[in-house]
Amino acid sequence: MPLFGLVHMRAWASLFGQLLRSPRALCIREVHVHSQVAEAVLTSQLKPHQEKSNFIVKTPKGTRDLSPQQMVVREKILDMVVGCFKRHGAKRLDTPAFELKEMLTEKYGENSGLIYDLKDQGGELLSLRYDLTVPFARYLAMNKVKKMKRYHVGKVWRRESPTIVQGRYREFCQCDFDIAGHFDPMIPDAECLKIMCEILSGLQLGDFIIKVNDRRILDGMFAVCGVPESKFHAICSSIDKLDKIPWKDVRHEMVAKKGLAPEVADRIGDYVQCHGGVSLVEQMFQDPRLSQNKQALEGLRDLKLLFEYLTLFGIAEKISFDLSLARGLDYYTGVIYEAVLLQTPAQAEESFSVGSVAAGGRYDGLVGMFDPKGHKVPCVGLSIGVERIFSIVEQRMKTSGHKIRTTETQVFVATPQKNFLHERLKLIAELWDAGIKAELLYKNNPKLLTQLHYCEDMGIPLVVIIGEQEMKEGIIKLRSVASREEVS
């Protein structure tokens, strides 16, 4: 093999050809450029081959491949979730994986820095979608839809620090259910909480609680505690971290980083450590400071009505009014909620926690942000944290050693003899045409033991056996892989 490959020899020939042209045809600058090209070609040829071994094949940070076994578990979870959405009358919707950047800006508060921006393509500034809610609001405004009950299953992207064990990724799947339209207060909100309970109970993840609050109560609380209105969103984002870090750290952030007066932070602390049921709602009506705020009173009245409907749905005991729940996204305007799994003592010892597994709330002003005339379409919805739920199920399956079947094959076509490929192909074609899920080995003369071992490995329950004797008698044998029993 010559030192220089064919392509590079042509490059050298071209370079020398141009150098031998008339001086008028080639300026000094061109000679210099071509010399650099030639040098680069030569350098690439002479680089040590060991440098290539430094290349590591892997997925990008915060992403992962899903094996066939993982996909089986994932599909079962998604089927259960989507089945619940359909049971409640939702229609499926899909939107582009990326949006115009301007559509996503100023919708996520401090989380806006987590949006993935794409390289400029044809003059349009684009970003990967951060969630499924903002694209839904854009769809409603763009198509002038005033009423809709929809669900959406799709991937979203966030540039946050991934925590794989806890099911936090940079690319992950969301399952959303939303109700858009003008309706009587709290009826759609109650249905969303009912759906959450149905899904979490159906998945059998263990005991759970759904925290509820209202952004109007939060804003009223901030106002009566002395938080400047300009700091409402910033302080709300700090409060939203209370499920991850203790109050003293949240207080330090509000005072040291966000410039809140210490006495104001302490007043907030008196409220955000309160949680309970409808009795706490009644108690807040009597609070000397909160009861004087109009916004807070509106939120408390709606929460009282919400608990009335939740009692009728039979799920009130699963709901906790929690004044520390903030939900940092800017677009929420009313009731907000978040479902968390209650840890068992064993999980607490192992420090295994996945945070919230579902969340949502009311966002009555988001559609109006996209409408030229600012027309609002009230919306309320929820999002199921599929990745976090999947991480829990996966962890349990590893612990139990449960084997997952990755195919749905019902029957395997086998033969104990040689030269029966044509017969097997004819038979399996008949099975496929009849809608039966069937497989065979792609070999002319496979051993019967090899075929049976394949069935055991793949969990295929039945084997159809065809051979010379069966052909003479005009029958086939059907064998149970588990019991070895045969019928003709």
Residue numbering of the annotated binding site for L-histidine: 131-133, 158, 174, 178, 327, 331-332
Q: Is 341 helix (H, G, I), strand (E, B) or coil?
A: strand
Contact by Cβ (8 Å): 180, 147: yes
Nearest residue to 322 via CA among 263, 240, 251? 240
Dump the DSSP string for 208-222.
Answer: EEEEEEEHHHHHHHH
Nearest residue to 441 via CA among 433, 476, 474, 458? 458
Q: Is 149 helix (H, G, I), strand (E, B) or coil?
A: strand
Supply 78's token pair.
């998604």
Q: How deeply is 134 buried, as exposed, middle or buried, from its count of CB atoms within 10 A (0-12, 13-18, 19+)?
A: buried
Binding residues: 131-133, 158, 174, 178, 327, 331-332
What whole-number distance in Å separates Cα of residue 140 and Cα of residue 378? 11
What whole-number distance in Å separates Cα of residue 70 and Cα of residue 173? 14
What whole-number distance in Å separates Cα of residue 475 and Cα of residue 180? 60
Contact by Cβ (8 Å): 269, 260: no
CA distances from 294 to 44, 275, 298, 306 (A): 72, 21, 6, 18
Neighbours of 255 (CB within 10 A): 17
In sequence order, the β-bridge partners of residue 380 are 179, 362
Nearest residue to 221 via CA among 262, 281, 273, 271? 271
Nearest residue to 410 via CA among 431, 436, 429? 436
Nearest residue to 117 via CA among 108, 131, 129? 129
Buried b (16+ CB within 10 A) or exposed e, 201-216: eebebeebbbbbbbbb
